[in-house]
Amino acid sequence: MMRNRAGCRILSLLLLLALLPLPAAAGSGRWWTFTEKTVPEELRYAVCDYSGEITVTFLGDCTLGGEEKSRRSRIGFVRRIEDNGMEFPMRYMKALTEGDDISVANLEGVLTDRSLQKVQKEYNFSGPTAYTEILTSGSIECVTLANNHSHDYGEGGYADTKKALEGAGIAWFSTDAMAVWQSDEGLLIGFLGVSFSLSGDRAKTYNRKMKILKELGCAAVITVMHAGTEYVYTPDNYQDQIVSRAVKAGTSLIIGHHPHVVQGYKVVKGVPVVYSLGNCSFGATTHAKDSDALVVQAGLRFEEAELTEIALHFYPISITSDGHYNNYSPMFLTGKDAERVLKKMRESTGADPGIFTEEEGAVVTVPVKKDD
């Protein structure tokens, strides 16, 4: 996609800030991950008049490892990586992620090298910290940890995961922290994570974070929600609740996952919402119930740092490039296979994702509703 970039100005204070330690960064631009109490002071001094397009690619559930009892099996995730290398899982996804500005995946599981006590639950997913290379080799700059498996090995596992990501230069956000990406020209885009509900204190926390990101001057705020009913193709009440409250708070775009299947999209009060991408490189199972999924690339168009339009490009994928079992290396679908996925989207929400081409995917363009 062509980008028409106009210059952005950063105040001379950044000359001083260059002497300070830089936050973790990967790809173009810079990333910050922070809480309500640790807002980076330097972000308050960015000034921007950028015009052009920023592309953000979203990948669904990525479990880099799996359950202890099965991940080293003959067709398990660990053996697949040992046989094929770290680049294997994202080898096809790089057709999109290498050419965008930002790539965001849902990291659903723990990365740790310690023997930690599992939390008592049905499924616990983990892999070694070296698996951050799967993300970096796949040109994935950021992950969300706002999901139901980031704490599968307690706070210790969560801390190990964050440390591993930061050590590899991969940004992250979750329910307890937000992230901001700053383009080379100074444009700010904020990211918020929501897991399962936006009620009570969760809603209050979300609203406070949104206010912070708006006050920092984020030209767009993207909400990534992990919610819905597993293996159900239509959105449920919890997803609708999150969407309603996030839209009211001022989010620019909502991207969802958790159901492990594709759900459709809607435009809610001018805000595009993709309810579920399904899985991506999903080490949690050797044989998926449904291998159809989506990768979405959003083209965010700005005029003098004001978001004016969002173009959603829907790319149907299979979570496996092997016809017999899940090999954890998703591939793009074409022809009748792609149309099957798009049909699921239509039946899910009633909204048409558009005409599909291999180069552009199925495209829907949404003008951004201006505030009265």
Q: Average the pLDDT over each of 37-46, 215-224, 340-349 and give the range with the smallest value.
A: 37-46
**In this predicted structure, what is the pLDDT of residue 371?**
60
Query: So what's the pLDDT on residue 321?
Result: 97
The single-letter code of the amino acid at 246 is: A
Task: Evaluate if residue 17 carries a pLDDT over 60.
Answer: no
Contact between residue 169 and residue 22 where contact means Cβ atoms under 8 Å apart: no
- pLDDT at position 323 is 86
- Burial of 114 by CB count in 10 Å (0-12 exposed, 13-18 middle, 19+ buried)? exposed
Residue 65 · residue 152 · CB < 8 Å = no
Residue 21 pLDDT more than 50? Answer: no
Could you give the C-alpha distances from 359 to 183, 190, 313, in angstroms and in order?
25, 28, 10
Residues paired with 63 in a beta bridge: 282
**Would you say residue 19 has pLDDT above 50?**
no
Kindly report the average pLDDT of the chain as a whole number.
92
Return the pLDDT at 12. Answer: 26
Task: Give CA–CA dist 224/18, Å, rounded.
Answer: 31
Q: Is the dihedral angle over the CA atoms 230, 232, 236, 239 positive or is it negative?
A: positive
DSSP annotation of 228: S
- Residues 211-229 have a mean pLDDT of 97
Q: What is the pLDDT of residue 45?
A: 73
284: Cα separation from own chain's centroid: 18
Measure the CA–CA gap between 161 and 109, rounded to whole angstroms: 9
pLDDT of residue 1: 40
Q: What is the pLDDT of residue 98?
A: 97
17 vs 48 pLDDT, higher one: 48
Q: Among 276, 209, 210, 195, which Cα is nearest to 242's?
A: 195
The confidence score (pLDDT) of residue 70 equals 85
Which of 1.10.760, 3.60.21, 1.10.287, 3.10.450 would CATH assign to domain 13-367?
3.60.21
Dihedral pair phi/psi, residue 330, rounded to 5°: -65, 150
Q: How far apart are the C-alpha atoms of 169 and 282, rounded to whole Å?
A: 22
User: What pLDDT, on a 0 to 100 scale, did the predictor assign at position 47?
Assistant: 76
What's residue 27's pLDDT?
59
Percent of the chain at pLDDT > 90 equals 87
pLDDT in tens, 308-335: 999 999 999 999 999 889 999 999 999 9
* Domain ranges across the chain: 13-367
pLDDT (0 to 100) of residue 186: 93
Dihedral of the CA atoms 324, 256, 141, 168 (nearest 10)? Answer: -80
Residue type, 321: S
pLDDT at 14 over 90: no
- List pLDDT tens digits, range 64-89: 999 988 888 889 999 999 999 999 99
pTM metric for this prediction: 0.92
pLDDT(11) > 70: no
List pLDDT tens digits, range 221-268. Answer: 999 999 999 999 999 999 999 999 999 999 999 999 999 999 999 999
Residues 94-119 pLDDT 10s: 999 999 999 999 999 999 999 999 99
Residue 369 Cα to chain centre, angstroms: 23
Q: Which residue's structure tokens are 């294997």?
A: 88
Confidence of residue 7 (pLDDT cuts 50, 70, 90): very low
Per-residue model confidence as pLDDT tens digits over 126-168: 999 999 999 999 999 999 999 999 999 999 999 999 999 999 9
3-state secondary structure of 236: coil
What does the chain come to in residues? 372
Residues 277-302 have pLDDT tens digits of: 999 999 999 999 999 999 999 999 99
pLDDT of residue 366: 97
For residue 325, the cross-strand partners are none
pLDDT confidence of residue 369 = 78
Phi–psi pair at 253, nearest 5 degrees = -160, 145
**In the predicted model, is pLDDT for residue 359 greater than 50?**
yes
